[in-house]
Amino acid sequence: MNQDTPAGPAPRRLAVRGDLLDFTADPGWAVEPGAAARFRPDHWLLVEDGRVVGAEPTDAALDASWLRVDERGRLVMPGFIDTHVHAPQLDVIASFGTELLEWLETYTFPAEGLYADAGEAVRGSALFLDSLLASGTTSALVFPTVHKVSAEALFEAAEARGMRLLAGKVLMDRHAPEGLRDDVAQAEADCVDLIERFHGRARLSYAVTPRFAATSTREQLAMAGRLCASYPGVYMQTHVAENRAEVRWMAELFPEARSYLDIYARHGLVTDRSVFAHGIWLDDADRAVLREAGASIAFCPSSNMFIGSGLFDWLQAEAQGVRVNVGTDVGGGTGLSMLRTLADGYKVQALVPTLVDGATDRKLTAWKGLYAATRGAAEQLHLSREIGSFDAGTLADFVVWDWAMGPVATRRLEVARGLHERLFAWMTLGDERNVASAWVAGVERYRRPPLAREAG
């Protein structure tokens, strides 16, 4: 729902009928998911005061106290969690012709400069969050810009929509244009103020956000590490080992570090609340550091292909104990749809020369992809009691999906045999057009405008 159509409070009791899918555990890589996938076709999802309380078959008697929303024939899943995305970069999606470092200079930094203006930050944050919801994503770990006002605007817009959001002012005190640089003292003061005002307020958490090691001095990275150590529960997000020229530049800038990841490790930035975007060009020792710390990688396949960064080997990372979740990385990525991103993830995994000996189940199943984008991300973020599944007690952040849009997908779904084949076809062919409605804590926040055939 756009902000000009205010949503009312959550109904006291809400029952939503559809094909319910969520996960109780990691399904692994097999096409047979075992008990980890919980598919309950044609059930009522029951919500009280904005929280999931259970699910019942449709022959259960529901008294008049339940507000019923009948979405039979549609898929109902927990909202997706995008673990790496840049709010101000809607303006640079689909920019032609560059790799990472030139892409930043040519397109991205100029676009982010606009957010020095509070009005732009407010406008952009609203568009960004409404677009996330319309894509089926109800929670995200987000980069705004270096400007304090961009983080304030994003937090306030998320709070107004009741969303679970993690974000923090971007830290950049060098190698960025005028107007996009902070300094250590000002950045620290701004972060402290933002943490004190927003971390733990409503459904918001603060994430300390050095953009990447190239745009922060050692002093600024040390300050970021101090913030992580002194404020329990804050997160840390950044980029690592995305592009080969970037990796070479880091080695020049930080000759004392063993590797690009080691720059962060030396500053106390690798913890079980750290999410590193990309991680394509890491080595075994780096992966051991991530595993030991319980840190994760946000795999961003759309972006990695679009800006030509490389092929991330999810299977290898997991075989070495590294946790992996999934991000769109808009504007490097070409859209906010996690379905399209997972479909891209499948293609990357199909191409990557996987380095795991004896691996036979190397393709990205629908189970693994959908788990990673829901419960897997929630667990990594220590939020699985709030989001990512239909466990009783979680907040009712869910999305109602059409299984198919258009004649090609409709036909493909008709002939699909078995649940995995259906889900995989949906994951591969679906996108934001398949989102019928998106709900946050039991409140409908987005409903697709009527299709011509429905309106007629």
Q: Distance between CA 256 and CA 50 in Å, rounded? A: 51
Q: Which amino acid is at 73?
A: G
Q: Distance between CA 316 and CA 356 in Å, rounded? A: 6
Residue 236: CB minimum distance to ligand GUN, A: 15
Among ligand GUN, Zn ion, none, the one that 104 touches (CB under a kind-dependent 5 to 8 A) is ligand GUN
**How does strand 67-78 pair with strand 164-167?**
unpaired
Q: Is 329 in the site for Zn ion (CB under 5 A)?
A: yes
Binding to ligand GUN (CB under 6 A): which residues in 63-92?
86
Residue 152: CB minimum distance to Zn ion, A: 21
Which residue number has the CB closest to Zn ion?
A: 329
Fill in the DSSP letter of residue 146.
Answer: S
Q: Is 108 in the site for ligand GUN (CB under 6 A)?
A: yes
* Span of 40-48, 100-108, 346-354, 373-381 interacting with ligand GUN by CB under 6 A: 100-108
Binding to Zn ion (CB under 5 A): which residues in 267-286?
277
Q: Which residues contact 105 (CB under 8 A, 6 or more apart)?
A: none
**Which residue stretches of 352-442 are H helix?**
366-371, 377-380, 406-415, 418-429
Count of residues touching Zn ion (by CB under 5 A): 2
Residue 229: CB minimum distance to ligand GUN, A: 24
Q: Catalogue the long-range contacts made by 195-198 (C-beta closer than 8 Å, 24 or more residues apart).
A: 195/227, 195/231, 195/234, 198/151, 198/152, 198/155
According to CB under 6 A, which one of 147, 161, 211, 273 is a site residue for ligand GUN?
A: 211
Residue 48 vs 329, nearer CB to ligand GUN = 329
Q: Distance between CA 207 and CA 142 in Å, rounded? A: 9
* Span of 115-123, 176-184, 306-314, 328-336 interacting with Zn ion by CB under 5 A: 328-336
Binding to ligand GUN (CB under 6 A): which residues in 432-451?
none
Among Zn ion, ligand GUN, none, the one that 212 touches (CB under a kind-dependent 5 to 8 A) is ligand GUN
Phi-psi category of 50—alpha, beta or left, where left has phi over 0 and alpha has psi -120 to 50? Answer: left
Residue 351: CB minimum distance to ligand GUN, A: 19
Residue 307 vs 443, nearer CB to Zn ion = 307
Q: Is 332 in the site for ligand GUN (CB under 6 A)?
A: yes
Lay out the site mask for ligand GUN across 222-261 (x = CB under 6 A, - = otherwise). Answer: -----------------x--x-------------------
Residue 450: CB minimum distance to Zn ion, A: 35
Q: Distance between CA 140 and CA 137 in Å, rounded? A: 8
Count of residues touching ligand GUN (by CB under 6 A): 11
Q: Is 312 in the site for ligand GUN (CB under 6 A)?
A: no
Q: Is 175 in the site for ligand GUN (CB under 6 A)?
A: no
The string over 283-316, giving b where at least 16 C-beta atoms fall within 10 Å of a residue's C-beta and e elsewhere, is eeebbebbeebbbbbbbbbbbbbbbebbbbbbbb
Q: Distance between CA 267 and CA 106 in Å, rounded? A: 30
Residue 53: CB minimum distance to ligand GUN, A: 40
Q: What residue has token string 């097999």?
A: 30
The pair of structure tokens assigned to 76 is: 């109902």
According to CB under 6 A, which one of 1, 16, 104, 227 is a site residue for ligand GUN?
A: 104
Among ligand GUN, Zn ion, none, the one that 43 touches (CB under a kind-dependent 5 to 8 A) is none
* In contact, 157 and 115? CB cutoff 8 Å: no
Three-state SS for 405?
coil
Interface residues toward Zn ion, by CB under 5 A: 277, 329
Interface residues toward ligand GUN, by CB under 6 A: 86, 100, 104, 108, 211-212, 239, 242, 303, 329, 332
